[in-house]
Amino acid sequence: GIQVEQSPPDLILQEGANSTLRCNFSDSVNNLQWFHQNPWGQLINLFYIPSGTKQNGRLSATTVATERYSLLYISSSQTTDSGVYFCAAANTPLVFGKGTRLSVIA
């Protein structure tokens, strides 16, 4: 089945810094999603982005389907951005990477 790899596994940022999270997947997919898992364990949908670029406030994502990777950009990070970011890819069903644990310190 499809393999999903995320990097880096851990990231510590000063508040206000920018960051880029990467997701590589092993096969062509027709669904790619980015999630933020908050400290209470809830998976919050960030982007549904099988291809192209989307932006939502300080967050944006780009998926290059032909090269099998996706990037999540976080600009001007805030302490509330802390948590684990998951990429999940699929033809069916969603397969998750191991996540990137982000800590934003004031």
Partner 1 sequence: EAGVAQSPRYKIIEKRQSVAFWCNPISGHATLYWYQQILGQGPKLLIQFQNNGVVDDSQLPKDRFSAERLKGVDSTLKIQPAKLEDSAVYLCASSLRTGGAPNTEAFFGQGTRLTVV
Residue 100 backbone zone (phi > 0: left; psi -120 to 50: alpha; other: beta):
beta
56 binds partner 1 (CB under 8 A): no
Shortest CB 25 distance to partner 1, Å: 13
Nearest Cα neighbor of 81 from 102, 54, 55, 106 is 102
Shortest CB 1 distance to partner 1, Å: 9
Nearer to partner 1, 2 or 71 (CB): 2
DSSP 8-65: -SEEEEETT--EEEEEEESS--SEEEEEEE-TT--EEEEEE-SSEEEEETTEEEEEEG
Question: Binding residue for partner 1 (CB under 8 A) from 19, 21, 81, 86?
Answer: 86
* Only segment of 15-23, 60-68, 71-79, 96-104 that touches partner 1 (CB under 8 A): 96-104
Interface contacts to partner 1, rule CB under 8 A:
30-31, 33, 35, 40-43, 45, 48, 86, 88, 90-99
